[in-house]
Amino acid sequence: MTTATATLTRIEARLFLRERAGLIWGLAFPAILLIILGALGGKKHDKDLDGLTLAATYVPIVIAFSIAMLALNAMPPVLGSYRERGVLRRMSTTPVPPSRLLAAQVMINVVVAATATVLVLIIGRVAFDVGLPGQAGGFLLALVLTAAGLFGIGLTIAALAPSGKVANAAGAITFFPMMFFAGLWVPRAVMPDVLRHVSDYTPLGAAVQALQDSARGQFPHALHLAVLAGYAVVFGVAATRLFRWE
């Protein structure tokens, strides 16, 4: 059965690469975004950004962007169309359950997100002098919880969407408000207090703050970790309960 899982993951990975969108939006775009913003901000430490450079401010934001792109925009339409077109149903007549296909999809997207994270950290360090995360353990924990929460939400969208097209739309509708609260347009440091409080309770708001805190050497706030864990549990359970194979 291990050969089945390996073959399944390898072939799904090829399909992912053939699709290109996941690679462009999940890997290339976040890296390019950081390069552009880093170049715009230069070496200047901004008082308004808690004394950070623009590049340092945006490192956690583009990491969140990559994870959200993959979990919400790349994965759900694929799974939605697999169900719509009977791919999952066809597989359920074989000895390998279609849940393995889901697992392979999540794994591929997580690997790309991890690659994007490493790439963004390297670009930040090499090109813009952004220090590597001072609290590596906290940073990793925040990353894992963020990925768990976001992929839980993505799987729930895939579970509820009747088709690939609906999954696509639902993913985009969730993506933009989340990225707003992550600070893509207005970083959290310059958000009005009310907005920042709301942001604390959104998956990507909590994620960006937890990543930023651990990048600066502090362990993430319990609140942000709890929010992330909460989303992971709620949507993990929802996806498992709601997922239909046909």
Partner 1 sequence: MPVIEVTNLRKSYGGNDAVRDVSFSVERGEIFGILGPNGAGKTTTVECLAGLRHADGGQIRVLGLDPQREHDHEQLRQLVGIQLQESQLPDNIQVDEALELYASFYRDPADWRALRDGLGLSSKRTARFGKLSGGQKQRLSIALALVGNPKVAILDELTTGLDPAARRETWDLIEGVRERGVTIVLVTHFMQEAEHLCERVAVIDTGRVVAVDSPAGLVNRVNAEQRLRFYPSADLDDRLLTDLPQVTAVSRHGQQVLVTGTGDVLGAVTSVLARAGIVAEQLRLEQTSLDDAFIALTGQEIS
Q: Which is nearer to partner 1, 10 or 197 (CB)?
A: 10
Handedness of CA 77, 120, 217, 181 (dihedral sign): negative
Least distance (Å) between residue 18 CB and partner 1? 5
- Between helices 193-200 and 222-242, what is the axis angle to 10°? 50
Q: Which is nearer to partner 1, 21 or 132 (CB)?
A: 21
Q: Which of residues 96-135 bind partner 1 (CB under 8 A)?
A: 96
**Contact, 124 vs 38, CB < 8 A?**
yes
Distance between CA 231 and CA 246 in Å, rounded? Answer: 26
Burial class (CB in 10 A: 0-12, 13-18, 19+), 162: exposed
Out of 44, 47, 95, 193, point to the residue binding partner 1 (CB under 8 A). 95
Q: Which is nearer to partner 1, 164 or 171 (CB)?
A: 164
Does 242 help bind partner 1 (rule: CB under 8 A)? no
Q: Which is nearer to partner 1, 18 or 47 (CB)?
A: 18
Does 93 help bind partner 1 (rule: CB under 8 A)? yes
Write the single-letter amino acid at 180. Answer: F
Size of the site for partner 1 (CB under 8 A): 22
Does 15 help bind partner 1 (rule: CB under 8 A)? yes
Q: How far is CA 11 from the centre of its chain?
A: 22
- Alpha carbons within 13 angstroms on the beta-carbon side of residue 47 total 0
Binding site for partner 1 (CB under 8 A): 3-4, 6-8, 11, 14-15, 18-19, 81-82, 85-87, 89-90, 92-96
